[in-house]
């Protein structure tokens, strides 16, 4: 697995964890920001042929 793939997966993992925390504390702005980041990271992964779990 390349460094690019590892970085995308790490950033997605962190964004999902942050999203869960933001939702549990009611921080809608942060949740929206992280949801957008996740969407962007998944798009980048797709464009580069990176298969993601889930």
Does 54 score more than 70 pLDDT? no
pLDDT tens, residue by residue, 3-34: 999 999 999 999 999 999 999 999 999 999 99
Cβ(14)–Cβ(38) under 8 Å? Answer: no
- The pLDDT assigned to 26 comes to 98
pLDDT confidence of 53, banded at 50, 70, 90?
A: confident
Does 2 score more than 80 pLDDT? yes
* Per-domain boundaries in the chain: 3-47
What angle is formed at CA 16 by the lines to CA 38 and CA 1, rounded to 5 degrees?
A: 75
pTM of this prediction?
0.90
């Amino acid at each position: 697995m390349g460094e690019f793939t590892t970085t995308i997966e790490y950033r997605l993992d962190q964004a999902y964890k942050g999203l869960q925390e933001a939702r549990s504390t009611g921080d809608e702005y942060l949740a929206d920001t992280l949801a957008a980041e996740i969407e962007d990271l998944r798009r980048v992964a797709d464009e580069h042929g990176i298969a993601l779990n889930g």
